[in-house]
Structure 1
Amino acid sequence: MAKFRTKPINSITHLFIYALTFLLLWEWLRPIPVVTNTAEIHLFVWFAFFSTVLIYIRVPFWLTIPTLMMASIYGLHIIFYEGSFFSREGGWETVKLFSSEAWYNFGLIFSRDFAYLTDPFRTFLFFLLLALICYLLYYWIFQTRRIFFFLLSTIIYITVLDTFTPVDASTAIIRIVIIGFFMLTLLHMLKIQEEERALGKRGSSFISPAWMYTLILMILAATFVGVIAPKPDPQWSDPVPAMRTLVLGEGSGTGSGVRRVGYGENDERLGGGFVQDNNVVFSAEVEEASYWRGESKHEYTGKGWISDPSYVESESVFEDEVDYYMFEELAVLEERTVSIVMEEGVGFSHLFYPGQLKQLDRDSLTYLSGSEEGNNESIQFNTDTVNGRVQAEGEEDITLTSYDLVYDDPTFPIETLREGSEEDPTEIQELYLQLPDDLPDRVVELAEEIVEDEDNRYDKAVAVEQYFSRNGFEYQTTDVPVPDEDEDYVDQFLFETQVGYCDNYSTSMAVLLRALDIPTRWVKGFTAGEEIEETENDRTIYEVANGNAHSWVEVYFPEVGWVPFEPTQGFDNYADFEEEEIDIDVDSEQNNLEDPERPDTGMDEDLLGDLDEGMESETDTEVSGGSDENWIDFSQFLTLKSLLISLVTLVMVMVIYEKQNRLQNHYFIWHYRFMGNDQRYLTAYQRLLWILENEGLPRGEGETLREYAKRMDLALNSQAMSKLTKTYEKVYYGGYKPDGDWEERQKDWEEIVKSLNS
């Protein structure tokens, strides 16, 4: 009996230490979405917490295993399968699907084909690993009283990720140190208490308040000093390229392997991943955000871009005329100014500018000639009349440090672009239609297929620009392959990998349009950067970092000039495209509606309020993991009454959660049945678009309303959506005032919503 008592019972101290251990485990999960393609990380956190609680309260083994199995299958259902898990068919269907999935993957394991394991089975194994880790942590704390190895492993794991990946662990390491101090100290105290109990010196477990206050004070003081104390800069700016060069012989700038993101000079061989670099290159004070142009390239080799420069001395760069013209008479230009300050240590000798560069202000120009400040009167600029690079020249190496520019900011009338001539000057054709002789035929065939329904240059360019977002291409900066010697860079991206970053997208768009005899050129520079502050004179200061290095496409339109397009996923085109104005006479509620091309934002304030409330409700439910939050309070219920109330509440929440879409749809049917009228026709139509998107039938990016209506009619086996859309377009575009249209179309509106509930 005495021997048995040498093992202490679980106390509040043990629970506190176990909770701290779970927080350490959470630190392992936090970086996973950054370094892998794993999503829904909150599900894994909730599963780990659920496993931790089951193990701590000592649920019998025969009950723990099936409970964790069902929890993992529930997680798989949320991630990979559709429908409700708690519906009559949902959960059982998921179990059947996963059973067949597991049987197939066990065969792969026995045949040692580990690379072909499916994603659901890999996820299940990850759930299993989390459960095992939770038990191992319990064993370390409650049996061996040792946790140092796990703490040390956590520190090594986080620091390695911070060094070699985009993960920023600056705050994580502080949390880990604080948690580690508490855990090690409390575990050491528990060991002392056990030894004293074994000797009969202590009758019960306790923590002295004075001891605890001292511990907290010392940990906070040590952490505070560590945070505010001055620290040396990193001794290695980036160890990855150096190590790869040492071990693999990479890093020569050929475009292969992993590089650091930034503006480079050599574009002959594109491809390969890169690591992020948030070091600031320059700051700019501007009136409007814009891309920063460095230069363009015009000859595609099949592996990258090259260009023969044609420099001329450019004294006029200080006199309101630069020897490089981007726009012609039909482009609408507005003169603007920008002030640029380069970051110390950044060594660029050419200008970065938005729009059409007109003038460099000599008085504002500062630069270094070698290591000395230069003389503005002696500096010479040469302009590459083909590629637009404006380069400073001097007796020694020139490094620009600050300068002010005057430039023209263009606006492009869309109707002018659509209706303009497609007869290009000979010099444009010679330079900007070039393609390699060995370009695969399927690239040309794809280009023709993309634009087969378009009849003008602008719509063809837009069709190619939007092709990538409509066909599952992914933006990715790591593990981006480099084409082999016999592979074409564009062909590989379009037909083999379909993953990449700006160079892949911009080069592919330029080549596809050239295959259609549309002149293009490849442009590189920086995106607008990060907005820092607004000045008193209504201007904005942006910081542009290496991570903003970017490439895009310019397409030539006769009598307009070079128009920028942005095909890269996740990036915005800052160019102004002007639609033909339409005068619509509708009431204030309808005027609040924006362009129907984006129905999710084109709603009045009441509608937006309803949507925000609904979306917040859905988000709160999703983050809390459904019933998990109620289950956490379950262990605190001390009476049968509170237990029954909690169970009833839980069932009601689950039912409401399961039926939330149906309940919302019934509410909107009732609302528009009694509150709908001709004046609210546009609002009702926008609400219908929102309901369809909420039911998993969203409108595709770039899809017109008519195309979307036809697709919905086909899916719902009716003609109601087309009828509603036809009236909507008459009201929105034609200024038609509804007169009894809502009464006529209300049944169509309700028919669609009711069909979603069936």
Structure 2
Amino acid sequence: MPQSNQQQQTSTLHVLVLYGLGFLLLWEWLRPLKEITTTNDIHIFVMYTLFLFIVTYFQLPFWISFPVKLGALLYALHSLYFFDVFLSFKWVPYFIEDIQYNLNLFSEQNWNEMTSLTRSLLFFVLLWLVSYLMHYWLIQTRRIFLFFLITVIYVSILDTFTVYDAKFAIIRTVFIGLILIGILRMMKIIETQGFSLLKGKFPILWVAPLSGVIALSSALGYVAPKASPIWPDPVPFIQNMSGKGEEEGLGNGRGIAKIGYGENDSQLGGPFQFDYTPIFKTFDNGRHYWRIETKEFYTGKGWENKIPTQAVALEADDMSGDTNFTRIWEDGVEMKDHTARIEAEKGKEYSFLMIPGKLKNIEADSEANYQLDGVSGKISTFQSGREEKLSTYTMDYQLPVLKEEQLKGASNQYPQYITDAFLQLPETLPERVKDLAQKETVNQLTIYDKVKTIEEFFGKNGYGYNTIEVAVPKDDEDYVDQFLFETKKGYCDNFSTSMVVMLRSIGIPARWVKGFTPGTFEALGDDGLREYTVTNANAHSWVEVYFSGIGWVPFEPTRGFDNPFQPEEDKTSSAPAAAAPKQPKKPEKDLNEERSAASSKEEKSFGSILKSVGNGSVIMLGLLVFVAAIAFLFRKKWLRQYTIWRYKRKKGSDTFEEAFERLLWLLKVYGIKRQPAYTLREYALYVDRALDTKDMNILAKAYEGVQFSQKKQSDLWNDFHRELWENLIKRIRP
């Protein structure tokens, strides 16, 4: 082969490598978009960018490359927004009309009203321009350091201030960028110093050591121990400097507050810190949240009670007095009796009751008068005209026994006082909140199905639980709108308020409830009552939805929390199918012939498919590799659910041990590793601190008891330990 041809091929190979690395570097700008924006179908933007690089690489004449790139742009837009055939061109008039509409918006400088189609068009044009700049930097000037530096800064900022995890992105960016810089530098040396590409010294003898050093440095940087941050997280610092801060659903303050019960909820939002100070113990045989009060009026910033109220006196031996607004369950609903005892920590007593359900009577350690707020449902305690803080009291109460069938059968006809009070929304509520609720529930037939859809909406759409990076809405912002469309992260107040507002916007009465979660399970008493410890960190808010003829049913939209009230699932069985006419039994020979014929037919059909697509085995192998890669990359998302499903209904004397050991393995996979020097008890404490719980310590003690016992205890895998085990797994986050 002539020398000039060899040099041309070598140069072409260099250009191909440069384009490939340049595309990978630009790809790092596109990867975060799915997590930090509402942009979907990111793969279309990636494929279009790759196509631009390929066309540019072949250096086609302008009169060919321009229409090819433009055609690809239009096809990409068509794939995103139109459903008819591309070559039918039926979509063109709509496209032109959209462009004209947005040109008018440009002239008026009304950027917020731009349509998604035009925004995508501008983004495709931007990618086109950047691909040309990449060609200019890589081929013409041989300089890429500035773009590389900007990419590192871009990825670092997203990692710091958004939900995007850029741990691997930074490693990829540095690795690709350094190789690009090294290759470009070598090519400059070759061009200026006159080295030959055919002597064997360039590029292999330089590229190989360069790649090895960069790869080794990246690997060491990844596996090396990481020091703790020298500076605190800047996000809460910036928020704090701006004077934003709230106490979770339970108070109004400034700066980073501590969680706990508060009474002013008119201004929600802002960061808080967990406070694990115990405030009371409960001894209970029911499963529920501890209600304190409800609020019915949403202001756009928080919650208030606007309905004029009156005090209702209650008697200790008959706590059944209520009003239309405080009645939880309607008459005729099947109820089950329960008993609970509350023991407040010294100095942490409250002058009101924690309400587990429908109260029947109460016995307290001191003579007290009980007064019901006729709107919020809060029951205050008094003695001789002054507030009385009870340290210990026992109550009998009732919880309903409901089935999904009952809830699904509830009508949409509500009493007048329900619609007047619990469908209220501020006039300033943005329309897109109502549109979102309508869009999510339009295909649901029953009220219950609509409510469950909204309850599960947040978990299915990437809304994150966060107590620090939580914004406070500005004067012209709505609290719910900001959470749903801007921040998409918050704590219980954000989730519960958003669910109430979304339900009300589609005509379903709902209200906002405050109180405490059940707390941390401690032990099972001889009297059959479960002992729980409730701390300030258990302060919580949730949702109650009104069902006609039934009452107020609690729902839990907050990520990481499980609704303790679950209606019984339907256990209806379908009617047996009509019996088919009995056919005479065929001889075995005939059956074998039919099976062979069917098998031959299937093989021919499959063979024709393989023939139509080419080498079927290669395609199948590629699909298997792709599926395996996807399963491996997203293993942390499905491992938890699979583990819960596998052990939830498993029984046997060895089940508890297997489940606990599987839990240890999961913790290791998710990065909560056990150090060699840790005993099991020490590791359990470490896990509890990491997951904000005390459940691991309880399970570890039970596991040690099994290990040192001479015979297996089959009753350890009971509702209590299974519940603790499952809650721990649900708290683990990737």
TM-score (norm 2): 0.49
